[in-house]
Every structure is written in C-alpha cells, then in structure tokens.
Amino acid sequence: MTLTRSVATRVVADPKRRSANKWGMKGIVLFLFLLAPSSDADPYDDTHNIGSRDLMVHLFEWKWNDIAQECENFLSKNGYGAVQISPPNEHIMINENNDVPWFVRYQPVSYQLNSRSGNETELQDMIRRCNAVGVRIIVDVVLNHMVGVNQKAGQDKRWSSGASHFDAAQGVEYFPGVPFNKSDFNDPLCNHDIEGPDYQHNAAHVKECRLVGLLDLNQGKPEVREKMIKYLNNLIEFGVAGFRFDASKHMWPDHLKLILDGMNNLRSDIFGENQRPFVVHEVIDRGGEAVKVDQYLEIGRYTNFNFGAAVASAIRKEFDVAELRNMGDGFRYGNKESFNVLNFIDNHDNQRDEYPYVVTYKNQGQYVQAVAYMLAWNYGYPRIMSSFNFSNSIQGPPNNGPEVRFSIKSPQFEADDTCKTSSGWVCEHRWPQIRRMAKFREEVGSATISEIRTGPHMLAFARSGRGFFALNNNPGEFIEQNVMTTLPPGLYCDLSSGLKAQGVCTGKFINVTSNGSADIYIPGHNFLAISLSNRL
C-alpha cells in the first residue's frame, strides 16, 4: 500500500484562537500555510491552561482528596492541563441494590458543597493543590433543574448527601437548602416531560418542560439567577478556572448570558487580571433538532458530540479514516470553529447508551486509536473520559457498602501506573498509549499540521518540526518508505509501543534520515507517534 500526499489550503495556527478552513485534493501540490486573524470575541472560550497543556480529563465520580493526589502525582507530569470534576453540590441519594446510581450527582438538593466526592473543605483543598501544580479545575454545574418530581427526603430510600430536606411532590417543590419553592419552577409554562417530537419541532418545550421528570427551574426569574450566580461566584473564589454547564440545551441562551455576566472575574492571584471563567455548554445537536449549537456560540464553547461520533465511525470503517484529514470547521455536521468546541470521543452519558454510537473503554483497541488521533490532530480543546467499570447503565462508582453510607472507593494503582482492575476504576487517562499521547500533544503545542498523506484506511501527518503521527486502520501491517516527518535526523522512540527511558526505547524505534524522512512500520489497527523529546 502506498500513501498519497494529500493537499489542502489550511489555516493552521493556535487551535484556541484560529480558524481552520480546508478542503481535500489529490495529487502532489505545494502545501500552503496561511494565518488568519481570529473572529472570536467570546470572553468565555479561554481555557486558562498553563503553557501547552491543551488537554482536559474528566475524573468522573472521583473524590476530591483523590483528585488532589492525582493532580500532584500524575496529571501535572503527563501533559494534562485541567480536570472536569463531578457536580460538587448537595444532591439526592438513592439506594438501589446496594448501589448509588451515578445520576444522583445530577439531581441537586441545594447548592451547598457537600457531595459524594467530599465536603467544602476538601473541595477547597483540592482546588488549591491542583492549581499549585498547574492543573485547572472545571466544575460540572447543574442549573437546569433539581431532583425528579415526587421524590422526598426520608421516603423510598431517598435522602440527601448533606443534611438538607427536600420535597419534590407535584405542587410542593420545596428545597429549603437553597431555598427554592414551587414559584421558582417552570410549572406555569409546562408541568410535564419533554416529549420525543419536541426535540425536532418545539424548542420552547425542550427548554421549559421537564427533562426525564426533573423539576425544571425558571432561569428567567431574577431571584433564581441570583442564587445560581452566588453558587458560581463561591466556586470562583475558591480558585476554579471555569464550568461545564450541564443541560444548557434545556435553558434559554439569553438567560444563560445573564448568569454568565453576573459571574465575577477569576482570581487575579492565580489567573491574572480581568480574566473571565472558561465555560462549556452541554448542547447535543446531532442535526435536525429545534435547538442548535449556533445559538450558544457567543457565550462559551459547546460539547461537540459530533466529533466523537465522526471519529468512531471512521475507526469502525463506516467511512475511511483518510477523510479525517479534513476534520475541523464544516466537516460533516456540527463541527464548528476550533475555538468554539470541546471535543471528546465519549462522555459519561453516551458511553452508557444501549448501542453506543461512539467507541468506549469497552472497545479498547478502537478507543485507543480514536483518542490517539484526537490528541495528535490540531482541532479544538480535547477532553479524555476517565471511567469506572459498569455492567448496567445506572451503576454508580465503586463503593464501600451500606455500613459507611456507600462512600466512594479510591482508585488503586499497579506498578505500571494503570488503575487496578480489581478496584473497579478504568482510568483511561492512565493507559500507557493514551498518557504518552497526552505528552505528545503538550510537546507539539500549536505546531502546524503539514505533510498530510493518505491511503485506504490510512492517515499520516506531521506537526511541523515537533512531531509525526500515522494511523493504520487496516487489519494488516503497514510499511512505507521515505515518509516525510519534518523532524531532525536521529532515532526516535515510537509512543504507541513505548517511550524513551534511560537513553533507550522501551518499544520500537524509527530512524529519521538527514532529509527528515523515515521508513515507517505500523501493525494492523494501530498508530505511530514520534516527537522531539523521544529522540535518542
């Protein structure tokens, strides 16, 4: 098989501040690099990451003390710039079959900082310790709703993660821990669930009716917004860098803007003067829907579910991975400008679908290929999912049993720094190939993409002068001679199979010649990645 040099005219600069406009073309033509000024004036897009640590990890359901240790012992040393944490607010607790479902974290009881992950003191300590080693904290905040209708503290194995009472009975809707009462909800506009056809035909119902029975708050009411803003500003004072807004699709953008505009600037002693919080909105727009991501682009980034769907389709050979050379603004549906998107392969919701349209940790080989491509390609702000093992869609994180109120277990680690399978944690961010690609992304930074070459189910490209990446999605091995890497001559350790340690490669190596070319070999369904720091 022979790679064909694929040519495009691209805008290739810092993905957080540049536009990418590209088109594919066969043949050998001079590759042009153009810089274009950013049209982005959104103050909520900046990630506030340090240096080129352009990567977030979602430590789903981790405890605050464990996250602090992970920042200090692993993330800060392996290219990770930020952590998305689970919602820190007080929430409902539900006991089902000696388990507490994961979704309790998304059913608030109050905005007090007492959750399964820890208390307010532990949260503050974690934020301080992570910032001290250059890892930013992004808080998952749930402002669209409270708990599901007709649930009450003390009944049917329901209680609170803190000490607050709640009564979500229809027409009562009382949450003294905030406080909210029935006048703070959207019941006068809609007191029933969103129905299936609403998603295609009725944006008002999507935003004002109940999402799977959850009591829908009225963010159009100033008193409701004030309590939400107070909650956000409290977290800003602790030193967080920003927020993921859960279920933004179900809130009006103008109401969200009022909330965002009420937030304080980030702490100047950590982030500098006049810095606005990073914001990303959960908006699922797969096409044909009444609510569009375009409506949210001026108030932060959005969760780009279309990125993971497209990459998974390519890895599954539903289309050729060679087409991923065009990934960026305008590629298929829903991929917008680089500074607008938070990209990911899977998240805590869609990995639990009965028939996932994405690849997950349960498809380990395909998943590693997909994540490796995401980290090598210069588009958007990437997030890696870090999961716990589950056998059903509502299963919660590993817990210590009823004697200690189902407290969350801490992850345990093997000698190779992966998580012990017996602990129940998957920890994809610690998988050897993924953590090495996290360092690859940090090292190549904003280096332009060049020397794109393609073949059937093959894609290769350079990160000019800093790195080279190739993906083989065929079952058989791939061998090609004289492939341009743009790297200086020398022996390089291939990050798919190992790394440089004590002056030798723990895996295979690639010899780059004096003109920057190399003969490459890639096993079936695998990748190759080399960078300057892994030159012997």
> What positions carry a catalytic annotation?
246, 282
Angle made by CA atoms 453, 365, 467, in degrees to the nearest 5: 40
Alpha helices in 29-117 (DSSP H): 64-73
Strands 458-463, 467-472: pairing kind: antiparallel
Measure the CA–CA gap between 89 and 394, rounded to whole angstroms: 20
- Residue 164: Cβ-neighbour burial (10 angstroms; 0-12, 13-18, 19+): buried
- The residue length of the chain stands at 536
Measure the CA–CA gap between 469 and 462, rounded to whole angstroms: 6
* Beta carbons of 178 and 152 less than 8 angstroms apart: no
Lateral strand order in the sheet of 490-493: 478-484, 517-522, 509-512, 490-493
- DSSP code per residue over 321-333: GGGGGG-STTSTT
Measure the CA–CA gap between 468 and 217, rounded to whole angstroms: 49
In the chain the first and final C-alpha atoms are separated, in Å, by: 29
Measure the CA–CA gap between 445 and 172, rounded to whole angstroms: 53
Which residue, among 517, 472, 212, has the nearest Cα to 317 in the 3D structure? Answer: 472
Neighbours of 86 (CB within 10 A): 25
Reading phi first (left if > 0) and then psi (alpha if -120 to 50, else beta), residue 528 is in: beta
Which residue, among 448, 459, 457, 443, has the nearest Cα to 499 in the 3D structure? Answer: 443
Alpha helices in 239-363 (DSSP H): 253-261, 268-271, 305-315
Most distant CA pair in the chain, distance = 76
Which residue, among 164, 213, 165, has the nearest Cα to 185 in the 3D structure? Answer: 213
Reading phi first (left if > 0) and then psi (alpha if -120 to 50, else beta), residue 248 is in: alpha
Contacts of 287 (CB under 8 A, 6+ apart): 333, 334
Measure the CA–CA gap between 235 and 376, rounded to whole angstroms: 33
State the angle between helix axes of 222-238 and 253-261 in degrees (0 to 180), rounded to the nearest 10: 50
